[in-house]
Amino acid sequence: MSKILPIIVVNYNGLDDTIECIESIVSSCINDYIIYLVDNNSGGSDSQILTEKYSTHRNIKLILNQENLGFGKAHNKVVIDQFHKLSWDYVALINNDATVNKDCLKKAIEFADKEKVDVLSMKMLDYDNRDLMDSAGHKILTNGEILPIGKDADQGLYSEANMNIGASGGACLYSRSCIEQIGFFDPHFFVGYEDAEFGMRAFVSNYKCMYCPDAIVYHKGGQTIKNVFDSQYAVQTFKNIRYTNYKLLPWPILIIMAPFKFLRLLLIIIACTITLRWGTASVLTKAFLGFYATDFSKAMTARKALRKNNKVKGSLQVIKSMNSTILHDIGNFYSIFVKKKPSAIDQYR
């Protein structure tokens, strides 16, 4: 049986974006593929129109969920229910608000095969301004926060392949061997940060994560998040950052960084309060208290399970991969408090 590339696209109230995404994949230079097009119980006529348009397409398997499973669980369900029927080495994830360049998937597979990559980050460009980057994969700060590489930077600066610590779930390739060994998306997550956690989990479990500059995707960015964003979503996202830290980072790093992280959080809350950013201060406070009340024990259970079945990197190996939180915070402070640009919480309101 020849190898096939399964591609997962999840729709939730984004019909026009999803159709554009699917058409770009169908037009791309790849022969053996199957698109698992999942509708996550959208409102309106999304499921009806997608059924009329794609239910008979030979390369598309349409899946209509009866409830909104979120990002991670929707992907997990496809892998569990469908992939046992396939002969596959990689799975591609493409956000419904993205379109792929004609040879994107072909380049991604060739690169992954050549470099033996387990988590491949595609070159995500801003859909409206294609001179700007959206993401070249993920990086981790010394405070444990995982962020996109190259956001809003000149795309010409990201023309070389390099190592990173994971990929944006908006456009990536994951290897079968990695998923089978460490599992897929953590069911603790609903929408947001599950790709960051998975990439970091693969990295600390000694799987190879790389950025491929020739696999190009155009991303509208934030379209799905806009459909689900509220204060509760923001709180859960910051709780997810702590959950990921406690699940994946070595204890020496967690212990050494704990007082610095607490002081940083306190200073940010004070700065937000003084500048009347009550919403941001409230979100950060609720996330801090809520994590220890409800999610800390879950993180400890997940941490134990990962280390039971996998050999993970030590503290020095992880520290070497980290980027400066101080430099990041200086840039953030200037952007938010001097240039008055919206914060990560404010931009979707």
pLDDT (average), residues 282-308: 96
Q: How many CB atoms lie within 10 A of CB 204?
A: 24
Pull the structure tokens for residue 216: 């190009």
Q: Beta strands 119-126 and 171-175: pairing type?
A: antiparallel
Question: Could you state, in order of their start, the residue ranges of all structural domains in the chain?
Answer: 5-227, 229-348
Pull the structure tokens for residue 151: 């956001």
Residue with tokens 């294609």: 130
Q: Taking a C-beta distance cutoff of 8 angstroms, is the pair 236, 345 a contact?
A: no
Q: Taking a C-beta distance cutoff of 8 angstroms, is the pair 198, 186 a contact?
A: yes
Nearest Cα to 81, choosing from 8, 18, 30? 8
pLDDT (average), residues 321-339: 78
pLDDT (average), residues 159-164: 98
Measured over all CA atoms, what is the biggest interatomic distance in the chain, rounded to whole angstroms? 64
Least confident of 89-98, 140-149, 215-224: 215-224
C-alpha count within 13 angstroms, C-beta hemisphere, residue 151: 13
Tens of pLDDT along 194-219? 999 999 999 999 999 999 999 999 99
Classify domain 5-227 at the CATH topology level.
Spore Coat Polysaccharide Biosynthesis Protein SpsA; Chain A (3.90.550)
How far apart, in whole angstroms, are the C-alpha atoms of residue 44 and residue 52?
Answer: 14
